[in-house]
Amino acid sequence: MVLPPDATLADVGEFGLIAALVEQFGTDDQVLVGPGDDAAVLRIRHGHVVVSTDLMVEGRHFRRDWASAEDVGHRAAAQNLSDINAMGGRGTHLTIGLAAPADLPAAWALDFARGFSQECAEVGATVVGGDLTRADQVVISVTVLGRCTQAPVLRSGAQPGDVLALAGRQGWAAGGLAVLGRGFRSPRVLVEAYRRPRPPYAQGQAAAEAGATALIDVSDGLLAEAGHVAVASGVAIDVRRDAFEVPEPLHAVGAALGADPMEFILAGGDDHALLATFPGTGSVPEGWQVIGAVAEGEGVTVDGASYDGSTGWTHF
């Protein structure tokens, strides 16, 4: 379905837009009923079904002058697929709820769908339905279903004596957000990291197969997520600064903004790296870096001492 390039959502209408959006998404042999009915119907095979939901609100989670519609689509899909990754599984099917102003260009919605679909293709996931309504600002709600071939890895399994390890980039998106917040667009590599995260999709299942005792994705901040693991597991976690090599772009942004670049790493989110604990008697899988340790006690420390800086994003 071809829409006029200047058409708005009001021009196209709800069902016209839905028809155009559906064309952006594929299907797979597990989908018995896809978009177009009251609900999707899936054929579930062996393993555990895992489900997660996330919201993105314009002005709070993204700005249209900071990121293209395709970028927002990539980010919306990535943050949901990462939640399944953080259980040791892989996302398979998603639904999208989109609320938007009537004067939003229809092309924006189609570009969003294109970016969303491209990100889903990274793991072979399929969009199977959703909903569309009018609102004063763009609000995106995504639900993802996935599958774990083994028992899901929870936040609550860390044990004293475990090591803490990280997979994926960390602090890059936070550096990009800081740059955009000051009205700049460089270093471009950090801005692009914020616009389109690169979750380590292969590492969730790899961690589970290697015997990870706890697993979480870094969406709100490394220290904040480590705190969630510490509370859920009833342990203490210490993070070592010297485990990190601060990349040059973060050094550059820190110098330009008068900030410690380690703060981007310790408190940054939106890269959707994975944080895991592994038994200290073994080795961590390839692609993982040991950044700390688990002990008896409670709370999170940095280099053995309490940390008085920001630990991550808070919503309220």
Mean pLDDT of 116-145: 96
Binned at pLDDT 50, 70 and 90, residue 40 comes out as low
Using the predicted structure, report yes or no on whether residue 37 has a pLDDT greater than 60: no
Residue 308 lies in a domain: no
Are 75 and 176 found together in one domain?
no
Residue 141: band (very low, low, confident or very high) from pLDDT cuts 50, 70, 90: very high
- Is 271 assigned a ligand-binding role in the annotation? no
- Of 121, 148, 175, the one marking the end of a domain is 148
User: What is the domain-level CATH number for residue 115?
Assistant: 3.30.1330.10
The 10s digit of each residue's pLDDT in 258-311 is 999 999 999 999 999 999 999 998 889 999 999 999 999 999 999 999 999 888
Asked if residue 54 belongs to a known ligand binding site, the reply is: yes
Asked whether residue 292 falls in the same domain as residue 211, the answer is yes
Residues 228, 159, single domain; the answer is: yes
Same domain flag for 231 and 207: yes
Position 158 confidence tier, pLDDT thresholds 50, 70, 90: very high
Same domain, 95 and 180: no
| Domain contains 256 | yes
Whether 27 has a binding-site annotation, put simply, is no
Confidence of residue 139 (pLDDT cuts 50, 70, 90): very high
Residue 162 among known ligand-binding residues: no
Q: Is 53 annotated as a binding residue?
A: yes
3-state DSSP call for residue 212? coil
More confident residue, 315 or 232: 232
Residue 185 and residue 269 in one domain: yes
Identify the DSSP state of 285.
P
308 marked as part of a ligand binding site: no
Residues 161 and 143 in one domain: no
Residue 248 burial (C-beta neighbours within 10 Å; 0-12, 13-18, 19+): exposed
Asked whether 175 and 268 are in contact (CB, 8 A), the reply is yes
**In total, how many domains does the chain have?**
2
pLDDT at 1: 66
Q: Establish whether 306 is an annotated binding residue.
A: no
Q: Binding site annotation covers 219?
A: yes
Tens of pLDDT, residues 189-243: 999 999 999 999 999 999 999 999 999 999 999 999 999 999 999 999 999 999 9
Domain termination residue (choose one: 148, 172, 206): 148
Name the domain boundary from 148, 166, 189: 148
| Residues near 167 by beta carbon (within 8 Å), at least 6 away in sequence | 200, 203, 207, 273, 274, 276, 287, 288, 289
Q: Is residue 86 domain-resident?
A: yes
To the question of whether residue 303 is assigned a binding role by annotation, the answer is: no
Determine the Cα–Cα distance for residues 129 and 38; give it in Å rounded to an integer.
9
Q: Same domain, yes or no, for 207 and 114?
A: no
Q: Please indicate, yes or no, whether residues 100 and 200 belong to a single structural domain of this protein.
A: no
Angle between helices 188-195 and 248-257 (to 10 degrees): 100
Would you state the structure tokens that stand for residue 144, as one six-digit string? 């993802």
Range of the domain at 37: 10-148
Task: Supply the CATH number for residue 181's domain.
Answer: 3.90.650.10
- Predicted confidence at residue 58, as pLDDT, reads 97
* 157 appears as a binding residue in the annotation: no
pLDDT tens digits, one per residue of 45-77: 777 888 999 999 999 999 999 999 999 999 999
